[in-house]
Amino acid sequence: REKPVVLCVISIYFCGLLQGGVNDEITLTAYITIALLEIPLPVTHSAVRNALFCLETAANEKENHVYTKALMAYAFALAGKEEKRKALLSSLEKEAVKKDGSVHWQRPGKEPEVDLPYYHYRAPSAEVEMTAYVLLAHLTTQPAPSQEELSSASLIAKWISGQQNANGGFSSTQVSCFLPPCDLTL
């Protein structure tokens, strides 16, 4: 006797905040490619291969948003595409904010931080997310990250750890998006 299987179909009401405020096909493709590669599907799988082709084409565009570049750099790192990963990291390095012995990335047109006594500014979660993707792109390389990449990664990790709240967590963009519940019966 077979058990009934109820397939879960999740309707995602896509939220711009989930994408670091960037709402385009390339950013979504990068998210999906990362998810597929983390499963892990091989880079030879048709869905992954097609997505990587799309990302490689988009990576050549100069007007990519910094958040999208961070996602693509991590996707290429997972796929083992070192030249593309390094090119994007080099481009991202030019947009990095270096302050107080740490490195991070922020969205273009962001208002400057307010320096107030007894107040520690915490960056919006989209900036923590994109900086974390750059950190992952630095550390996800074969055979292992170079000493230079480890040095860069430590400056990025310093900034990320400074964004933690009093409970050790981070603010989240995910709470404002609605994902319907899923009943999965196997």
Token pair belonging to 169: 């967590």
Which residues is 99 bridged to in the sheet?
Answer: 102
> Could you tell me which residues come within 8 angstroms of residue 100 by beta carbon, excluding any fewer than 6 positions away?
none
| Residue 98, phi then psi, degrees to nearest 5 | -110, 120
**Quick check: 179 pLDDT over 50?**
no
List of domains in the chain = 2-163 (1.50.10.20)
Number of Cα atoms under 13 Å in the Cβ half of residue 93 = 13
Q: What is the pLDDT of residues 31-71, one digit of tens each?
A: 999 999 999 999 999 999 999 999 999 998 888 899 999 99
CA gap 140, 138 in Å, rounded: 6
N- to C-terminal Cα separation, the chain = 13
Q: What is the pLDDT of residues 133-172, one digit of tens each?
A: 999 999 999 889 999 999 999 999 999 999 988 888 876 6
> Could you tell me which residues come within 8 angstroms of residue 132 by beta carbon, excluding any fewer than 6 positions away?
160
Residue 9 confidence (pLDDT): 32
pTM of the entire structure? 0.79
Assign 99 to helix, strand or coil.
strand
Q: What is the pLDDT of residues 83-100, one digit of tens each?
A: 999 999 999 999 999 999
